[in-house]
A and B are shown apart, each in its own frame.
Chain A
């Protein structure tokens, strides 16, 4: 599979994402500059973490206006799979590709630590390879990761099974203590209704090699690869 990893001014997890897709998982991945107009011939798009445009105005607010985002909108509209990580999640919300918004952490602190994630559903191309009940230990690093949406949006997310990940304790309980940023319903990641665009605040690309202290993040990429492999297989007639 081939992936495009977007690069905005002040993206800082772009190289990590390319490294994991290429060197750890053995697929093709290349950086695409935000001023480019085309994603190239790719099966998936990663919008990586960082502080695009210095987080000016609001996180992700300026980045979503970059020329490449037109191509991402088109790619997603055609059913292409897009994953936004951290700042990438914020950009997808600002771009209207995902519902809701990410605001200042309730504690007002920048939180940089490992958390436990509970996959709220395995019925998605980003979570399907996660064994039932297995928690993922993955790091977060953000100051504005508090997921907010109005009541009706939250109800829709629940009804349509769009919540992908929730912050949990090591035992899998969803508590206030395990919620690092004040997100509603401990939400750490969601997908759109069509299930081809997803965003999450934690960094799976920083938890894909033993050297990094956890390989749980690989399950997210492996889910994605499984989904893409299934899609590219011709349907039996």
Chain B
């Protein structure tokens, strides 16, 4: 199965990339853009018991794949 992990900057953390992309989109004429947040996306191919995999991915997210000081994450197993 595949774990699809989305990592995003925490709300309180300065996101200069998001701001720069927002400015660029506005320059291009796109209207109504309220905010842009730039994060990252990871895919992990994995096998095993679904519930155990879920726990392991969650633990890996906290211990390595994200830094809880600055990032939030969510993931799905497909």
Nearest-Cβ distance from residue B75 to partner chain A, whole angstroms: 16
The interface residues of chain A, by DSSP majority, are classed as loop
B16 touches A107 (CB 8 A): yes
B70 touches A148 (CB 8 A): yes
Q: How far is the CA of A68 from the CA of B17 in the complex (A)?
A: 34
- Chain B interface residues toward A at CB < 8 A: 12-14, 16-17, 20, 64-65, 67, 69-70
- Indicate whether A182 sits within 8 Å of B14 (C-beta atoms), given known contacts A61-B67, A100-B69, A150-B69: yes
Q: Which residue of A lies closest to B42 (CB)?
A: A57
Fill in one digit per residue for A5-49: 1 if any B CB lies within 8 Å of its CB, else 0. 000000000000000000000000000000000000000000000
Q: How far is the CA of A148 from the CA of B12 in the complex (A)?
A: 10
> Taking the complex as formed, is A159 at the interface, i.e. its CB lies under 8 A from any CB of chain B?
no
Chain A residue numbers with a CB within 8 Å of B20 are 108
Interface residues on A, range: 20 to 34
Q: List 21 A-B contacts (CB under 8 A).
A: A58-B67, A65-B64, A93-B69, A94-B67, A101-B67, A101-B70, A103-B13, A103-B70, A104-B16, A104-B17, A105-B16, A106-B14, A106-B16, A107-B16, A108-B20, A146-B14, A148-B14, A148-B70, A150-B12, A151-B12, A182-B14
